[in-house]
Structure 1
Amino acid sequence: MGTADYSELLWMVSIATCIKLLLVPSYHSTDLEVHRHWMAITSSLPLKEWYEDETSEWTLDYPPLFAWFERLLAIFARRVDPIMVDLVKGLNYSTDTVILFQRSTVIIADCVLYWGLWRFCRKFTAEKQRILCAAVVFSPGLFIVDHIHFQYNGFLLGILLLSLSYLREGRNVTGGFWFAVLVCYKHLFAVAGPVYFVYLLRHYCRGVSWFSNFMRLGLTVISVVGIAFGPFIYYGQMGQLMKRLFPFGRGLCHAYWAPNFWALYNTVDKGLSVVLRKLGKDVRAPKAAMTGGLVGDSSGHAVFPNVTPAVTALLVLLAMLPCLVRIWRRPRRSEIVQWVVYAYTCGYMFGWHVHEKAALHFVVPLSLLIADSVKAAGDFLFVSTVSYYSLFPLLFENREYPIKVPLLLLYEFAMATYLPHYFVNMSPDRVSNSGVESEEPAESTSDKSESSPRSDWTMLSSLQEVELLGTVRKLYLWGLLPVEIYSQFLHPYLFKDRLPFFPLMLVSFYCSVGLFYAWAKQLMACFDQPKPDIHFQI
């Protein structure tokens, strides 16, 4: 990567860091106390008691590598304020020093995200690097979830980008290593495990050396898992650890429904129960009846059958099956990002107790594809708008409203404005009908573009032909405006304190329609005729 390109990324990171620092005093969720308590657990208790502690309701429920990450942070936290990592005195301890320290750890940890992004983009053209870096660095979802609400998603997504960068280069063992590391940091990323397994099995474990390759890959993954979980196996804690990692008793849906298939399922169930009761039918209505927003209460249904964790797992695998079949038939490193995105979308749409924040798992890697084709850019623009808007209810205080709305509007406006210019400025000799660079770029491409610039009229005409969003998707996105006006302003005026969960349900239901449509489009792509291999400059 050239010095000039590297400096552009540094400028973007500098601007993003300034924005993050301005967000330090903003609202933070209970996740800040959760991670503070995890620092206290890992620094105050012996290893064998980490997953047994119940001093607080915020028990440790991330895999061991993340626990060690918290232990590392606790070393510095103790120097800043010892009470911060005190298991008893530190309960609900929230001072300006604590908030500043924890906010700073998220900002510093984002260096892993920038490392993964740089590595993924480093061999692309300068223009392609610029658009991909901007799409990730200025993601409003990461600002909202990590730097206001408070979490460490950027750090974890950076590990995912590292893994994908190595797979795109054909360095399969290293890519598998980083994915194993990622899963041992946060187990929810394991949803893409079937895609990784089938791809590596077919792309790497083949030919005369298939067995040695298989053993090399297997030993690499087992070593990572062994280092992470080995001590807990030694202490006989694996049963307790698994209960913490997979708390199936929490219910089908999170307190605020993630906009996925189950939001549609729940809303239709609720609507049918109301209609049937008005018709005189005897319909049971479980407590909270899917509208109380209470964890654990949202698994009961009035009309439709109740859903179990096994059913959701089966649906995720079935939804992923066409993608796995395609990878099995033709494993191509140029498509690995696309199918990892699809895997995380399946997990989001059909998984058990999905958090709305999990949308970052597929939106951020999807941004890596926006420069490959006009279609991919349009898909990203649509999915990112809907997904990031669905995060708005996380910031429910009025003082954050002037922050979250401009963050989303400015980002999507910039993407919608710049992406058409990007595709227009690409040389026609290197762009196929889909907008993807052709296998062998013409040697005179750069000279031609410099010596024979297009006229303003031609540029304008070409720009009009670059249609990122069709009529249906545009109308749907405009529909977000009345949804926001009603949920934010009209509902409180009309109903006061009654039906407090209805605005959340409305946002979730409307966004779930859009994301389900986007998932269905990805599903159909699994059956598309594969295009010839293309050159991605990696």
Structure 2
Amino acid sequence: MAAQAESWSWFAALAVGVSLLKCLFINAYHSTDFEVHRNWLAITHSLPVSRWYRENTSEWTLDYPPLFAWFEFGLSQAARHFDPNMLRVENLDYASPATVLFQRLSVVFTDLLFIYAVRECCRCVGVQKGSKEVLTRPSFVLAVLLLWNFGLLVVDHIHFQYNGFLFGFLLLSVAKHLQGQHLQGALLFAVLLHLKHIYLYVAPAYGIFLLRSYCFTRDHRDGAIRWSSFSPLRLLALGGIVTSVSALSLGPFIVKGQLPQLVSRLFPFRRGLCHAYWAPNVWALYNAADKLLAALGVRLKLLQEAELPRASMTGGLVQEVQHAVLPSVSPSVTLLCTLLSILPALASLWRRPRGGRAFLRCLLLCALASFLFGWHVHEKAVLLAVLPLSVLAVESREDAGIFLVLATTGHYSLFPLLFTPAELPIKVCLMLMFTIFSFTGLGALHRARGPLLRPLELVYLLGLLAVAIGCEFVFPLSPWRQRLPFLPLLVTSVYCAAGVCYSFLRLYASMLRSDHRPKQP
């Protein structure tokens, strides 16, 4: 045991180091999400449960599932010892030094679950052969890619959210499935769904995997493995877990007749196709094509500029919009596109349930498909694919190449979240450090198998550097700044969308190639 503890001492150093780094950001810029969560602390602490999803004094109403509301309630019990005034619902935009300190530290503290989950994921990667330096171990590289992930650092500890705590549940659930502890993995994911419903994106992968690999037991006959023995007891066990967690979470609101109100808060379809600025997905490309066609139509005198819809899709506002030339997109269309894009991945997992890695690949495809085709997608949702892909990247050269493209592109797409001058050097330095380590760490792991990136992929990423210089340094000094203030957002979203779409297609191609390989006994 002593030897085992010594061999993992580097992990403690990484965890402590990143926690101290997070504390340095306590007084950094924070977004409106800071007030969102302060308001939720006040709502859950000061009001009865029956009013949690009806309170609307603030525009930032409670719109996460009930278990997250109870999480906020638990935090509020500690918050009252820092500054009771933060727990008053009428204190809108309240941000005393004690409030800032508490909320910042609450994110750092709850990240302990994420740290534990990363440790479990590191235990699941390939076993080392021979004596290797710690810096070139897959477990070390994976730990850095997860613990020091650029996206999580800036979104949670500068912009302000609790994604690390939530991703802790997801990664721990994935680790349990990789370890063959499927009931524990199912329980963790059921809890996660009732903490934040965005994880519905990957629920289909969980459903197919558990039904096929857990409810169908394997028979070993004639030297082959058959998946023919269905176990009703295992299905009942899974159903019991889902039902119990759902009853615990939703039961009080069902009893009070508030389920419709709760659902309307969780799924606000009136917010429009895109978020305040375009997430780098298919709809960013679609919107850009619509604007380009409209401008071309006006120039060729095929369209009258006065008759076109107001250019609000890049106005930084959350609202419903109409496209000028292309057909406008409805929520049902985005749902259909998402379902069609994940069906091949689900079918592949059903036909060839090859274990945890096949499940993880399907999970990634579901996450990326929902990000690319979903309704009102937030740019931060790209982390739902970047973080799990880290696990595959340390074991496969091809996945490592996809990771470099997706992580670099997805992380840069988060740059507009931090728009204040003081945070510019912080985000640039953190991005550079994480990207350099990603290239060098993964390159060292897979050096013997050839280069990680194809020539065109390298050219694309170098183009991203040009985009960054133009948007962050050149544009603020240009005369276009006043006339086209949201041009950098448009360029960033469209350029990054190309990289995310490409990564999605490469992941699918990798899955299809594995489907055509001979089945392993």
Q: What's the TM-score once normalised by structure 1's chain length? A: 0.89
The 4+ residue runs of structure 1 with deviation greater than 3 A are 123-126, 529-535
The answer to which of 4-13 and 265-274 deviates more is 4-13
Tell me if 1:15 matches 2:11.
Answer: no
Tell me if 1:38 matches 2:51.
Answer: no
Q: What is the aligned partner in structure 1 of residue 194 from structure 2?
A: 184
Cα pair 1:316 1:347 within 8 Å, conserved: yes
Q: 1:355-434 alignment to 2 at 5 Å?
A: 355-424=378-447
How much has 1:122 moved relative to structure 2? Answer: 2.3
Q: What is the aligned partner in structure 2 of residue 474 from structure 1?
A: 458
Gaps of 5+ in 1: 425-461
Q: 1:131-530 alignment to 2 at 5 Å?
A: 131-207=141-217, 208=229, 210-282=231-303, 284-297=307-320, 299-333=321-355, 334-424=357-447, 462=448, 466-492=450-476, 493-530=478-515
Secondary structure of the residue that 2:479 maps to in structure 1?
A: helix
How much has 1:349 moved relative to structure 2? Answer: 0.4
Secondary structure of the residue that 1:106 maps to in structure 2?
A: helix
- Distance in 2 (CA, whole Å) between partners of 1:120 and 1:292 is 41
Secondary structure of the residue that 1:51 maps to in structure 2?
A: coil
- Distance in 2 (CA, whole Å) between partners of 1:510 and 1:4 is 45
- Distance in 2 (CA, whole Å) between partners of 1:415 and 1:42 is 41
Cα pair 1:266 1:301 within 8 Å, conserved: yes
Q: What is the aligned partner in structure 2 of residue 94 from structure 1?
A: 95
How much has 1:332 moved relative to structure 2? Answer: 2.2
Residues 32-77 of structure 1: CA deviation (Å, up to 9, x unaligned):
0000000000011110110000010000000000000000000011
- Distance in 2 (CA, whole Å) between partners of 1:111 and 1:188 is 22
- Distance in 2 (CA, whole Å) between partners of 1:367 and 1:513 is 20
Select 1:47's aligned residue among 22, 46, 49.
49
Q: 1:58-77 alignment to 2 at 5 Å?
A: 58-77=60-79
The answer to which of 401-410 and 520-529 deviates more is 520-529
How much has 1:6 moved relative to structure 2? Answer: 2.9
How much has 1:170 moved relative to structure 2? Answer: 2.0
Cα pair 1:252 1:307 within 8 Å, conserved: yes
- Distance in 1 (CA, whole Å) between partners of 2:206 and 2:162 is 23
Cα pair 2:402 2:507 within 8 Å, conserved: no
Q: What is the aligned partner in structure 1 of residue 224 from structure 2?
A: none
- Distance in 2 (CA, whole Å) between partners of 1:315 and 1:28 is 35
* Matched AA of 2:353: P
- Distance in 2 (CA, whole Å) between partners of 1:128 and 1:188 is 29
- Distance in 1 (CA, whole Å) between partners of 2:7 and 2:104 is 28
Residues 224-243 of structure 1: CA deviation (Å, up to 9, x unaligned):
11111111101111000000
* Matched AA of 1:408: M
Secondary structure of the residue that 2:512 maps to in structure 1?
A: coil
- Distance in 2 (CA, whole Å) between partners of 1:236 and 1:141 is 39
How much has 1:162 moved relative to structure 2? Answer: 1.1
- Distance in 2 (CA, whole Å) between partners of 1:168 and 1:222 is 24
Cα pair 1:288 1:294 within 8 Å, conserved: no
Alignment root-mean-square deviation, CA: 1.6
- Distance in 2 (CA, whole Å) between partners of 1:149 and 1:5 is 35
* Matched AA of 1:129: S
* Matched AA of 1:145: V
- Distance in 2 (CA, whole Å) between partners of 1:4 and 1:123 is 18
How much has 1:491 moved relative to structure 2? Answer: 2.4
Residues 286-315 of structure 1: CA deviation (Å, up to 9, x unaligned):
223422121114x31001111111111111
The answer to which of 166-175 and 398-407 deviates more is 166-175
Cα pair 1:5 1:129 within 8 Å, conserved: no
Residues 61-101 of structure 1: CA deviation (Å, up to 9, x unaligned):
0000000000000001111111011111x211111111111
Cα pair 2:57 2:89 within 8 Å, conserved: yes
- Distance in 1 (CA, whole Å) between partners of 2:100 and 2:8 is 31
- Distance in 2 (CA, whole Å) between partners of 1:318 and 1:526 is 16
Secondary structure of the residue that 1:59 maps to in structure 2?
A: coil
How much has 1:324 moved relative to structure 2? Answer: 0.6
* Matched AA of 1:101: F
- Distance in 2 (CA, whole Å) between partners of 1:500 and 1:394 is 15
Cα pair 1:53 1:59 within 8 Å, conserved: yes
Q: What is the aligned partner in structure 2 of residue 427 from structure 1?
A: none
- Distance in 1 (CA, whole Å) between partners of 2:514 and 2:472 is 45
Cα pair 1:259 1:356 within 8 Å, conserved: yes
Q: What's the TM-score once normalised by structure 2's chain length? A: 0.92
How much has 1:490 moved relative to structure 2? Answer: 2.7
Select 2:58's aligned residue among 56, 71, 92.
56
Q: What is the aligned partner in structure 2 of residue 435 from structure 1?
A: none
Secondary structure of the residue that 1:527 maps to in structure 2?
A: helix
- Distance in 2 (CA, whole Å) between partners of 1:494 and 1:386 is 27
* Matched AA of 1:524: A
How much has 1:520 moved relative to structure 2? Answer: 1.3
Identity across the alignment (%) = 44
Cα pair 2:176 2:182 within 8 Å, conserved: yes
Residues 258-309 of structure 1: CA deviation (Å, up to 9, x unaligned):
0000000000000100110111123542223422121114x31001111111
Secondary structure of the residue that 1:363 maps to in structure 2?
A: helix
Tell me if 1:128 matches 2:127.
Answer: no
How much has 1:365 moved relative to structure 2? Answer: 0.9
* Matched AA of 2:468: E
* Matched AA of 1:307: V
- Distance in 2 (CA, whole Å) between partners of 1:5 and 1:533 is 36
Gaps of 5+ in 2: 129-136, 218-228
- Distance in 2 (CA, whole Å) between partners of 1:289 and 1:76 is 42
- Distance in 2 (CA, whole Å) between partners of 1:400 and 1:116 is 29
* Matched AA of 1:476: Y
- Distance in 2 (CA, whole Å) between partners of 1:247 and 1:37 is 19
